[in-house]
Amino acid sequence: MSLLPDEHRRRILLEEPERVEKIFRALETIPPKQYVCYRTCGPICIDGRLDEPSWKKAPWTDPFGHLEDPKCVPPLATRAKMLWDDEYLYVAADLEDPDVWGTLTQRDSPICGSDTDFEVFIDPDGDAMNYMELEINALNCVWDLLLDQPHHRRGNPKDDWNFEGLKTAVQVDGTLNAPWIVDKGWTIEMAFDWKSMKPQCIGVACPPRRGDRWRVNMSRVHRVRGGQHTMDWTWTCQGIGSMHVPEMYGYVRFSDRVVGTGEDTFEDAEG
């Protein structure tokens, strides 16, 4: 059975034949990951420490894998957590890294072309259009943008778009920009204001309701210091060398259960 809705299939068929073949192969063979996002059990301070009870109780995602090959295990561990309340969607990440470094500090710098970064992609209504991207480096520099269409459909990224009300913080377990010292890694904490995402939520509730599913993926672009070699590790495998195939994103399903009070199976929810 195809994992791709008919309208998305028709849209992709308009693109280059060789890219179409690879996208279709990935869609038919790589199932998207799923994550249940629970409500917070108390306030969260965005400081990068992840020490609130809510974070301690929230489940980690599966370890990130290779962008294109689900059987390839990255040499460094990456994982994430998500939570929500009436004001924010919270995303946290833990990145193992023996050499934590960064160079860019100006907002909306193209981080992935220069530094190691962590990226979040959000498509609330799952139509593979008007999806949002955020990149953040170890210096807490942020690049956020809105994409009306993926790159393979000649999309036009809107660099001047911002996640209004965004909060981010980074904590380094080690010494930033000191390659002679072996680090343990870095953690990231983010709060996405629902109000900033509402215009992209066509036909879906924002904040979401119990049982709602949003298409989301997360990526770590690991760049070796002083070189151009990069590695791209993702929560759910894209099956193609691009994060800009939203049809391959995972599913985040929202629960109204408070984190730590039991698992939600959604047996009584629609969909």
pLDDT > 70: percent of the chain? 87
Residue 128 three-state SS: coil
Q: How far is CA 79 from CA 3, 180, 182, in A?
A: 25, 26, 20
Residue 136 three-state SS: strand
Is 165 buried (19+), middle (13-18) or exposed (0-12) by CB count in 10 A? middle
- What's the pLDDT at 225? 81
Cβ atoms 232, 220 nearer than 8 A: yes
Q: How far is CA 213 from CA 34, 189, 207, in A?
A: 9, 22, 12
Taking alpha carbons only, the member of 101, 90, 99 closest to residue 50 is 90
Q: Which two tokens stand for residue 24?
A: 């279709």
Lowest-confidence pick of 15-19, 162-166, 208-212, 257-261: 15-19
Arithmetic mean of pLDDT, 1-28 = 56
What's the rounded Cα separation, in Å, for the pair 167 and 148?
24
**Residue 154 pLDDT exceeds 60:** yes
Arithmetic mean of pLDDT, 54-73 = 96
What's the rounded Cα separation, in Å, for the pair 18 and 23?
9
Q: How far is CA 246 from CA 72, 173, 176, in A?
A: 21, 32, 33
What's the rounded Cα separation, in Å, for the pair 187 and 168?
11
Q: Which two tokens stand for residue 27?
A: 């869609």
Q: How far is CA 38 from CA 123, 208, 260, in A?
A: 19, 12, 9
- What's the pLDDT at 227? 66
Whether this prediction's pTM lies above 0.85 is answered by: yes
Could you tell me the domains of the chain? 32-258 (2.60.40.1190)
Cβ density class 192-215: b for 16+ within 10 Å, e for less: bebebbeebbeebebbbebebbbb
- What's the pLDDT at 153? 67
Inter-residue long-range contacts of 40-46, CB under 8 Å, 24+ positions, other chains counted: 40/83, 40/84, 40/85, 40/90, 40/258, 40/259, 41/258, 41/259, 41/260, 41/261, 44/83, 44/85, 44/88, 44/90, 44/189, 44/191, 46/167, 46/168, 46/169, 46/189, 46/190, 46/191
| pLDDT tens digits along 98-130 | 999 999 999 999 998 899 999 999 999 999 999
| pLDDT tens digits along 190-223 | 999 999 999 999 999 999 999 999 999 999 999 9
Max mean pLDDT range (89-98, 152-161, 257-266): 89-98
Cβ atoms 207, 84 nearer than 8 A: yes
